[in-house]
Structures are given as C-alpha cells and as structure tokens.
Structure 1
C-alpha cells in the first residue's frame, strides 16, 4: 500500500489531486491523507476546547463531502482509505513531527498557487510538504467556474 499526502482547501477542485493519484498508481492500494493547514487558537479557552474533528467538519462543505464520498465509492478498488488531517504547526520541524506517525514518503501537490483559503486561521501546507516529503509530484490543475469567479469581485457582483 502507498501512503500519499495531498494538500486540500476543502473544494471539489482540490480532489483532482486524488484522481491524479488513482490514475498514476494503478494496481496499487492507496492510503490518501488530505492535509489542511490550521492555526491553533491563541486563547487558553480556545485551546482547551479545540477539536480537530470539529474544525474539519466546520470547514468541509457539503459539495466537498459528496464529491469525496463519490470518489471513494467509484474507486474502492484503488482507495484503501481517504482521511483528512489538520496540520497545526508553524514550521518545518513541526511538520516533520506531524508526518512521523503518518509514515509518508510520497505527496502530490498542485503546481503554482491553486489552493484558496478564506478563513484567517487557515493556511496552505504545500510549502511544508515540498520541503519535507521525499517524493513530491507537482500537478497542473484546472480551476472550476466557482473558483475562478472568486478571484474577480466585479464579475461576481454583476453575476456574470
């Protein structure tokens, strides 16, 4: 089984990286770990009540969850497991500690700036993945219409 780390922003478009893994590792069972960067709360109360699962559930959209479930069902012969993890560190040393129990040697990341993070506590873990994972494959991805509109505020205001 091959364990692969893939960054996500909880959009359906980011699941293209999972499809790439399935197509490029045929006849290999995959354990795919989607990684999302999240800054821990600053206050003691926030730290005491922090739950990674609760944050993942808040961040995950209905369309993302449906697309992820469809992907797992359609490719059950290739996907052994598809999970989501929050990386809550600030540097490469923290990322190495995050990766150690996961035992990951491979990663698939988007080429260029593809992932989009709206929440102030969220960040793109791609730079940590590139720096700390042995085998990283960069993939050019296509943006969906919803993702493209988010870039242009005038066109979204005019509903173009």
Structure 2
C-alpha cells in the first residue's frame, strides 16, 4: 500500500488530484492523505480549545463531502483509506516532521496555481509538499481566473 499526500482546499475540483494519483499508481492500493494548511490560534485560550477535527468539519462543505464519498465508493478497489490532516506548522522543517510522522514519501500536487484559500486562518501547503516530499508528481493543471472564482456543484462537476 502506498501513502500519498495531496493538498486540498476543500473544493470539489481539488478532488481531481485523487484521480491523478490513481492513474499514476496503477494496480496499487492507496492510503490518501488530503492535507490543508491551517494557522494555529495565537492566544492561550485558542490553543487550549483548538480541535483539528472541528476545523476540518467547518471547512468540509456538503458538496465536497458528497463528491468525496461518491469518489471513494467508485474507486473502493484502489482507495483503502482517505483521510484529512491539518498542517499547522510554518516552515519546511515542521513539514518534514509532519510528513515523517505520517510516513509519506509520495505526493500529487498541481503544477500551477490551483488551490484557493479565502479563510485568513488557512493556507495552501503545496510549496511545503513540493520541497519536502521525496517523490512529487506535479499535474499540469491550470485554471483560468474565471474558473477559479466559480463555485462548483457536484452535478456541474459530473456534467449531470
């Protein structure tokens, strides 16, 4: 089984990177970790009451959850596990430790600007993934500005 880290912004279109993981590692069972950057609170109160699970649940929209669940069911023969992790560090050293704890050596990332983060507490971890994971596959996937600003529904993604 191969562990793969994939950055996500909790949009339905970011799930397309999972499809590339399946295509790039044929006949391999996959343990996929979707990673999102999150800035820890800067107060003692905020830190003591911080919950990564609660933050992931806040970021996880209904459209994203439905698309993710459908994707996992459709590829259940390949995807053994799909989970979320928040990277709360701020430098490459912290990300190396994060990746080492997860036991990840492979990654799928977008080559161009793909992930958008509107929340001031969140950030795109792609640059840390690119510089700290041994085997990074960059997918040449660029979005137009108009496409990036558009919010997608599950039916729009699936052309229903």
TM-score with structure 2 length normalisation? 0.89
Aligned to 2:117, what secondary structure does the other structure show?
coil
1:43 shift after superposition: 0.8
1:113-156: per-residue Cα shift (whole Å, max 9, x none)? 110000001001000001100010110236499843359xxxxx
4+ long deviations beyond 4 Å: 142-147
Separation (CA, whole Å) in 2 of partners of 1:110 and 1:99: 18
Separation (CA, whole Å) in 1 of partners of 2:76 and 2:91: 35
Aligned to 1:71, what secondary structure does the other structure show?
helix
Contact 2:107 2:137 in 1 (8 A): yes
Counterpart of 2:73 in structure 1 is 73
Unaligned runs of 5+ in 2: 152-160
Contact 2:113 2:143 in 1 (8 A): no
TM-score with structure 1 length normalisation? 0.89
Separation (CA, whole Å) in 2 of partners of 1:141 and 1:119: 23
Larger Rg: 1
**Cα distance 1:139–1:75, how it changes in 2: closer, same or farther (>3 A)?**
same
